[in-house]
Amino acid sequence: MEKQAKIYLAGHRGMVGSAVKRMLESNGYNNLIVRTSFELDLRNQQAVSDFFEQEQPDVVIDAAARVGGILANNDYPYQFLMENMQIQNNLIDAAHQHAVQKFIFLGSSCIYPKLAPQPLKEAYLLTDSLEPTNEWYAIAKITGVKACQAIRQQFGKDYVSLMPTNLYGTNDNFDLNTSHVLPAMIRKFHEAKENGHVPVTLWGSGTPMREFLFVDDLANAVLFALENVLPEYLYNVGTGEDLTIKALAKTIQNAVGHQGDIIWDSSKPDGTPRKLMDISKMHNLGWKHKIGLSHGIAETYDWFLANQKDYKQVKL
């Protein structure tokens, strides 16, 4: 891939997109195109088509999506389904119509069936029912994967989908109404510490197993996909290691320095029992993650401390 290649990065201000932008820039890619959602509404098909006609990018990286945790998915199913399909379909089709030869589509491990065998292999896609608490987002992402596969199969273009495990890191979302489990825990433990080490209540039983990938490692996987022609249409991206939510809570509690109790609210849903990714396909191609969980949590907490003015403190 030429360093001067015109690369359109959709979603550059989100956690994933901003990490990808930093990664590309630090590796010498100096012709990046970005637009805020105010400048370009990706849900608007005509606006997206006009943008592609004007800019004529060589490569598209799709890191744009409406995202959130269990609560957000449960409360806004229509938006999670429809807006994500609108965003990705407009980007994929415009890229195809305007002769973009390389497209990197980013999704999520939630595309796999709830009770699929562990670890999750790419071949398990569409073999059983999804986890109900995030099926709306998952269905949208599955359509994106299959659209890229169809273009690859029918037109021979290098359209590839990367499915990361649970992500966290710099520029994460710490809003307790819409955040994922790891950043939500960081904020809860921090504010409990600030309020005199009061107890922290967490959802579920704490027994589900989860895998976590620092967002800079995903950005490195995107760089890998950019600089290589990957032979298949779908690849898992993760660490290949998981832990219980209880163990995660203790790790975060120690990193934050909270000394109070942890209360588990078993009336709240657990979600999928386990989601460990089989990442052998990426490993066989030569990519591997670099950042361990403890180091990544420490970096994420440091970022939160530097930016917590953006989040209203909650009295626990």
C-alpha Rg value of the chain to the nearest Å: 19
Domain 7-173+211-242+275-291, CATH among 3.40.50.80, 3.40.50.300, 3.40.50.720, 3.30.200.20: 3.40.50.720
C-beta atoms surrounding 220 within 10 Å: 21
CA atoms of 84 and 104, how far apart (whole Å) = 16
Confirm or deny that 146 is annotated as ligand binding: no
The dihedral built from the CA positions of residue 18, 39, 101 and 63, taken in this order, carries a sign that is positive
Please indicate whether residue 137 is annotated as part of the active site: yes
Q: Does the annotation place 254 within a ligand binding site? A: no
Which pLDDT belongs to residue 316? 35
Judge contact between 212 and 293, C-beta under 8 A: yes
Question: If you average pLDDT over residues 47-55, what whole number do you get?
Answer: 97
66 labelled ligand-binding: no
C-alpha distances (whole Å) from 295 to each of 168, 243, 258, 291, 298 are: 12, 15, 18, 7, 5
Q: Is 180 annotated as a binding residue?
A: yes
The answer to whether the beta carbons of residues 134 and 84 sit under 8 Å apart is no
Q: Report the candidate in 208, 190, 188 with the shortest Cα–Cα distance to residue 200.
A: 188
Is 156 annotated to bind a ligand? Reply is no
Would you list the domain boundaries of the chain? 7-173+211-242+275-291
Q: Is the pLDDT reported for residue 315 higher than 60?
A: no
Q: Do you know the residue count of the chain? A: 316
For the ranges 72-81, 104-113, 192-201, which has the lowest average pLDDT? 72-81
Tell me the residue ranges of DSSP E strands in the chain. Answer: 7-10, 32-33, 59-62, 102-106, 158-164, 166-168, 200-203, 209-210, 212-214, 234-237, 243-244, 262-265, 274-275
pTM above threshold 0.85? yes
Nearest to residue 4, comparing CAs of 58, 63, 61? 58
% of the chain with per-residue pLDDT over 90: 84
279 pLDDT higher than 60:
yes
Establish whether 210 is an annotated binding residue: yes
**Mean predicted confidence (pLDDT) in 265-287:** 91
pLDDT of residue 271: 74
Of the candidates 137, 159, 168, 301, the residue annotated as catalytic is 137
What does the pLDDT average to over 242-262? 97
